[in-house]
């Protein structure tokens, strides 16, 4: 989880780890193309930018793991 480990904000990092562990790369790719999930942002206490950053980091780590 190289990309996730580089995240500085604790909540963003925790959400990114959750995304990595609970979603497939295909699922993350699909949600990254849409709008940020309001319910997830409220639950995790993160902003839209943090949500996007976390999803991108989780997806990048999945892709790195596949190579």
Residue extents of the structural domains in the chain: 2-66
Cβ atoms of 59 and 29 within 8 Å: the answer is yes
Looking at residue 14, its pLDDT comes to 98
* CA quadruple 37, 15, 55, 30: dihedral sign: negative
What does the pLDDT read at residue 1? 85
- What average pLDDT does range 34-40 have in this prediction? 96
Q: What is the pLDDT of residue 44?
A: 98
With 90 as the cut, is the pLDDT of residue 47 above it?
yes
Dihedrals phi, psi of 34, to nearest 5 degrees: -100, -160
| pLDDT of residue 11 exceeding 90 | yes
Query: Is pLDDT above 90 for 31?
Result: yes
For residue 66, the model assigns a pLDDT of: 83
pTM: 0.94
């Amino acid at each position: 989880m190289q990309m996730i480990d580089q995240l500085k904000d604790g909540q963003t990092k925790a959400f990114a780890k959750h995304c990595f562990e609970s979603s497939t790369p295909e699922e993350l790719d699909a949600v990254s193309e849409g709008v940020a999930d309001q319910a997830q942002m409220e639950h995790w206490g993160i902003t839209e930018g943090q949500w996007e950053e976390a999803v991108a980091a989780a997806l990048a780590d999945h892709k790195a793991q596949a190579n």
